[in-house]
A and B are shown apart, each in its own frame.
Chain A
Amino acid sequence: MDGMAGVSRRQLLGSATALALGLALTGCGGSSGSSSGVDEHGVVTISVNGMPAKTQPEDRKDFEDLVKQFEAAHPKIKIDAREGQMDPKTFAAKLAGGQLEDVYYVYFTDPAGLIQRRQGADITKYLKGVPYLDQIRPALQDVFKGPDGKIYGVPTGNYSLGLVYNRALFKKAGLDPDKPPTTWEEVRTAAQKISALGDGTVGYADYSKNNQGGWHLTSWIYSMGGDVATQQNGTWKAAFDSDAGRKALQALHDMRWTDKSMGTRQLLEIADVQKMMGSGKLGMYMAGPDNIPTIVKQFESKYDDYGLAALPGTATLGGGDGFMFNPKASPEKIKAGLQWIQWKYLNPDREEENVKKFSGLDVPIGLPQPNLFDGAAQAKNDAIHAKYANVPQANYQPFVDRSDDVAVKVEPPNAQQLYTVLDGVMQSVLTKEDADLDKLLADAAKRADSILATVK
């Protein structure tokens, strides 16, 4: 869900980064409270992040109310709520300075590295008996599994990439907004028709900067039936120098240079593309469902204007978020933290009450998302969401309809490093008409191999 917003947040500019760089690099080796966190009355206090900022007063108030409710229901636990989510710029400094929360938010791209560097606590033995945790889909649980088979965190949300499109532009270009493209050839034709509208209209846009190009190229390659990295005899190898990789690059190259339906401005990132979509100048782009409310809110447009289709091809990239635990957290804190996460984020019992409240506020209910649970818990959630939906669900039917045909694959190991390499590939294809696709893939694979060699 928040995965994409996270990537963009992560790339936030500012000269402050230079300052942060200096500060973090100098991180003093402070000690963290190694105490159990339990006071004389047996009350354990845990610090958690994920509290909305003061700039979102309604969300923040809601969070604070939930903390109160939770504390009332769990008199032996006190929550010390902190603002913010995973921010790689401050994470290490917080950890070094003993300021890292006991329970901290992560994106799916991070757990593998955090586990490898032992920056998260092993929670395997505390999971037993916590309601619903065993019903979370195994693929999502695996994201938090270490090479030692132990569990280091809990997923709380996930998304998969589809195709967000502008229904109004589809109509204007003579395309049926209820039948969006299901193959890349159809995407190409649709993009051509939309960019033929002129006036700066772009048929299809994609990212190519700050690791977001690599992230999307990975999804392109998945959709062409390929892989970015595969494991053979315990070691990881780059797998994108393949037919699928070549097909992905060729499709991008053709749309950019032959059809000229990808616009002239490149080196885009998520915020740029959302702006294009929000201002009605873009036909389609690859994105998860959570992009739609962002565009609607930021550009004051209407939900009716946007549709969501599944990604063409056979597979797409899925990501998500969850929580991990401070490696120095005591067993009492881990147990309390798990109760909080389950109660707040993974709770079909509270879902109806929540959704009812949110549907009255400005929170979109009924956007399609891949299931978090298997079985009964998921069925319960689905029924509630359908009942309180406040967004035009018909617009997302094309995404839902094909979801069974499109496998959701998680991100490769050392994802961020690989994305840096693939960023370069994406950039070359989109900025150089005479780019040598074979050579690009071969060179990038060599670099990716050396990055993957460090995966344990």
Chain B
Amino acid sequence: MAGRPLPTSPARATARDRTPVRDGAPAPAGASGPATKKSLDRGPASPAGPSTRGGAATGRFRRRVRENLVAYLFLAAGVICFALFSWYPIVRGILLGFQQVTFAQPAEWVGLDNFRRLFDDPLFLTAWKNTGWFTLLALVFGFAAPFATAVVLNELRRGKAYLRMTVYLPVMLPSVVTMLLWRWFYDPGPGLFNNVLDVFHLPPQQWLESENLAMVSLVLVSTWANMGTTTLIYLAALGGIPGELYEAAELDGASIRRRLWHVTIPQMRFILMITLLLQVIGTMQVFVEPFVLTGGGPDDATVTVLLLLYRYAFVYNDFGLASAMSTLLFVVLGAFAGVYLRLTRSKG
């Protein structure tokens, strides 16, 4: 599984938990505010209250600010950091897409020129097609494999901890090591895979050198390297399924397959949906695998959106073009992220 799907769901959960507190705040401000909360703030000497002066709304607003000043200050640090290191760069990046930038002269506004040039590049479509193909393949391998592994691991009676660790091991390898390892696996001469094929008297394959196989080979690397994380998520979700459901199913004489179909999958529907989306978002940003293993070849068969973007920016030094490309990617991924948000919200 090529995604990096872990961090989002917990973060989302806390955000959801926080919302009612914030929404609830105005209500107690007037009458029944908890005493402890007030005393925590700047002391009891704030009798501004809902008096007649200046209208009730502003009064209440001021009072709310004063009461929560410390909280706002703490919040401000986070907001400023986000604005500076996350939002500003995003906005700036989008603006760059409409400019010709050399960084030596003031940037020149060029309207949609960069986008037009993008569409003129014959590799542009290839890159999107390849990325789509990679994402699709990653779903076929990367979505099913961790789920199957998790279900099997969950059913095991012995050696569970050991196997769980084994499955997670590749995630801990630095990606450079992973790539070097797989280069040897794929080596058409003395490589591992061709040696294995040879044992079964099968012809050797050009794993990375054949246009048809190259992308599949990259997906395999990425699946192997990343499935540990997803497997752990599934294992956790499996652990959360109430045992009674299985007991009831077993009492009704349901086979393993039927239990999987009627209990496990429906119970995990939500988490499956989420990892699916996160995986799409993650795999569409594939870069390291093609960059290191194939450099986009053979014959552009593994040029991905991010690889092309990298070339625009750091080989051709054309940051306007690269930014236009990243804006497009941002829009596409944003759409997926929107669906993701909708889903997580409706679940709550």
> Closest CB-CB distance, A194 to chain B, in whole Å?
16
Stretch at the interface among A218-226, A342-350, A427-435: A427-435
A113-135 CB contact bits vs B (8 Å, 1 = yes)?
10001110000000000000000
A420, B189: Cα distance in complex, Å: 27
Specify which of B176, B188, B208, B298 is in contact with A13 (CB 8 Å cutoff).
B176
A13, B176: Cα distance in complex, Å: 8
A27 at the interface (CB under 8 A from B): yes
B177-198 CB contact bits vs A (8 Å, 1 = yes)?
0010000000111100000000
Instruction: List the A residue with the shortest CB-CB distance to B187.
Output: A265
On whether the beta carbons of A117 and B102 are closer than 8 Å, the reply is yes
Specify which of A25, A211, A264 is in contact with B93 (CB 8 Å cutoff).
A25
On whether the beta carbons of A96 and B103 are closer than 8 Å, the reply is yes
A113, B314: Cα distance in complex, Å: 12
A26 at the interface (CB under 8 A from B): yes
A400-428 CB contact bits vs B (8 Å, 1 = yes)?
00000000000000001100100110011
A438-456 CB contact bits vs B (8 Å, 1 = yes)?
0000000001001000000
Instruction: List the A residue with the shortest CB-CB distance to B206.
Output: A431
On whether the beta carbons of A416 and B102 are closer than 8 Å, the reply is no
B229 at the interface (CB under 8 A from A): no
Specify which of A15, A27, A264 is in contact with B288 (CB 8 Å cutoff).
A15
Q: How big is chain B's contact interface, by range?
A: 35 or more
A127, B239: Cα distance in complex, Å: 75
* Chain A, range 245-268, C-beta contacts under 8 Å to B: 263-267
B50 at the interface (CB under 8 A from A): no
A166 at the interface (CB under 8 A from B): no
A42 at the interface (CB under 8 A from B): no
A96, B93: Cα distance in complex, Å: 13
> Closest CB-CB distance, B211 to chain A, in whole Å?
7
On whether the beta carbons of B297 and A424 are closer than 8 Å, the reply is yes
Instruction: List the A residue with the shortest CB-CB distance to B301.
Output: A427
Instruction: List the B residue with the shortest CB-CB distance to A447.
Output: B122
On whether the beta carbons of B179 and A13 are closer than 8 Å, the reply is yes
Specify which of B88, B306, B309, B314 is in contact with A89 (CB 8 Å cutoff).
B314
On whether the beta carbons of B104 and A25 are closer than 8 Å, the reply is no
Stretch at the interface among B12-20, B315-323, B340-348: B315-323
A420, B308: Cα distance in complex, Å: 11
B136 at the interface (CB under 8 A from A): no
Known contacts A26-B92, A428-B298, A431-B211; is-contact A416 B315 (Cβ 8 Å)? yes
On whether the beta carbons of A431 and B311 are closer than 8 Å, the reply is no
Instruction: Point out which of B122, B179, B204, B315 has the most chain A C-beta atoms below 10 A from its C-beta.
Output: B315
A contacts, CB < 8 Å to B: 11, 13-15, 17-18, 20-22, 24-29, 88-89, 91-92, 95-96, 113, 117-119, 200, 208-211, 263-267, 269, 327-328, 416-417, 420, 423-424, 427-428, 430-432, 447, 450
List the 8 closest A-B pairs by CB distance, nearest first: A26-B89, A209-B295, A96-B103, A117-B102, A427-B297, A264-B188, A95-B103, A210-B295
Known: A21-B310, A27-B319. 9 other contacts (CB 8 A): A13-B288, A15-B175, A20-B314, A24-B313, A113-B316, A119-B104, A210-B295, A266-B209, A269-B295
B contacts, CB < 8 Å to A: 88-90, 92-93, 96, 101-105, 107, 120, 122, 175-176, 179, 187-190, 204, 206, 208-211, 285, 287-288, 291-300, 306, 309-311, 313-317, 319, 322-323, 326
A-B contact pairs, 23 of them (CB 8 A): A14-B176, A15-B288, A17-B291, A17-B310, A18-B287, A18-B306, A20-B314, A21-B313, A21-B314, A92-B319, A117-B104, A200-B190, A267-B208, A267-B297, A269-B295, A328-B104, A416-B315, A420-B315, A424-B299, A428-B299, A431-B210, A431-B211, A431-B297
